[in-house]
Amino acid sequence: HLHGDRFTLHSDLITKDHESFNCCDAKWSPFSDSTIATAEKCSVLIWNLNISQKNKLITEFRAAEQRGVNKISFSHYQKNILLTGSHDSKIRAFDIYNRKSIFELAYTDEIVRDIQFSPIFEHQIAAIYEDGVLAVWDTRKTDQPLLKFQAHTEPAFCLSWHPEEPFIATGGRDKKIRICNIKSSGIVCRYTLHAMNNPVSRVSCGKEMP
């Protein structure tokens, strides 16, 4: 919690059962201010901060076979659906209530560096891959991406959907931020922003778009 100019600890999710917990991503549920998903190696853990007991873990499931989960993303339209992107080049969707896999997406051997459900198109998912390719998937057509675009010339690390418009921002080792317009005819780069001296490891889109 933020109190004035100081932070205070609300919950410590590390319990005796998870002392070696190595979190690589964490996301709030868009449907609940008390539900958090975290990714740890090949597993996803779901926590409920409203549980009065110290251990707030409510469920846990395996989300990758051998190579770890890199990123997770909640659906903006179905509160039980969670997406994972993994080192094994696969994107998987799970029902967090019954811990079952719903679908799996894969078309390349490249590592999935970041994934995100679209906040404006119910059936669309964006993924950025190790080779710099930005792919947009339609969850109703799981054999191939709907759209692909070479966003970066070196490994890409991150992406972010605009919350209200069909734009995606991406970042990578080439020290560039690409602002891409998602159209039915293809992906078009609208802007290229140059970082100062370092790779871009995280991007986040706000509502303002020139």
Question: Judging by beta carbons within 10 Å of its beta carbon (0-12, 13-18, 19+), is residue 194 exposed, middle or buried?
Answer: exposed
pLDDT at 208: 76
Backbone angles phi and psi of 144, in degrees to 5: -145, 155
SS3 of residue 124 by DSSP = strand
pLDDT at 178: 97
CB contact at 8 A, 74 and 27: yes
Residue 142 is classified by DSSP as -
pLDDT tens, the chain, 210 aa long: 666 777 877 777 765 555 556 788 999 999 998 999 999 889 999 999 888 887 888 999 999 887 789 999 999 999 999 999 999 999 999 999 999 999 999 999 999 999 999 999 999 999 999 999 999 999 999 999 999 999 999 999 999 999 999 999 999 999 999 999 999 999 999 999 999 889 999 999 988 765
pLDDT at 1: 61
pLDDT at 204: 94
Separation CA 102–CA 171 (nearest Å): 29
CB atoms within 10 A of CB 37: 22
Q: Which two tokens stand for residue 39?
A: 């990714």
pLDDT at 127: 98
